[in-house]
Amino acid sequence: MTNSTKSNTARKTAAPAKSAKAAAPARSAARARVATKPAVVEPAAAAAKPKHKLVRDSFTIPKSEYIVLEGLKLRAAQLTRPVKKSELLRAGISALNAMSDKAFLAALNGVPSLKTGRPKAVDSPSVPAKRTKQP
């Protein structure tokens, strides 16, 4: 082979590499165009379910009322409508909201008021007792 043949061969092998590099951005641009196409969403379905901001909270209830809550969960499951505790509480809030003022006050008066805060631990060996500072 002559020098000119070697350089032609080198040019021929180098040219496909450049075109492959040039083709890569074109392929990724095509993928980006495909990825940016908006998904077809039915307007009725999107309008029917607005997203609600959720709030996480904790509270204390007497054990007897907690047992009633568990009983209501079982009752719903027997009626072929299993529910979570949060769904039961939300249903109760909805029912209270629908009541007249007189019925609402009667329901509130039927519930005893509780001391706020976490309940104190019952002499549990896993919870260390607080020590008081001695002068």
H helical segments located in 1-135: 3-35, 43-48, 63-78, 85-98, 101-109
What Å distances lie between residue 87 and 48, 51, 97, 98, CA to CA?
19, 17, 15, 17
Instruction: Classify residue 97: in a domain, yes or no.
Output: yes
pLDDT tens digits, 107-116:
999 998 888 7
- Give 53's DSSP letter: -
pLDDT tens digits, 70-124:
999 999 999 999 999 999 999 999 999 999 999 999 999 999 888 877 777 776 5
Of the chain, the percentage scoring pLDDT greater than 90 comes to 38
pLDDT of residue 32: 56
pLDDT, mean of residues 2-13: 54
| Burial letters 10-46, b for 16+ CB under 10 A, else e | eeeeeeeeeeeeeeeeeeeeeeeeeeeeeeeeeeeee
Instruction: Classify residue 103: in a domain, yes or no.
Output: yes
Residues in the chain: 135
The number of folded domains in the chain is 1
Instruction: Classify residue 77: in a domain, yes or no.
Output: yes
Range of the domain at 74: 63-109
pLDDT of residue 80: 94
Instruction: Classify residue 81: in a domain, yes or no.
Output: yes
What Å distances lie between residue 122 and 8, 126, 127, CA to CA?
90, 10, 9
Instruction: Classify residue 125: in a domain, yes or no.
Output: no
Instruction: Classify residue 54: in a domain, yes or no.
Output: no
Q: How far is residue 17's CA from residue 94's CA, in Å, rounded to a whole number? A: 68
Instruction: Classify residue 43: in a domain, yes or no.
Output: no
Give the mean pLDDT of the chain.
75
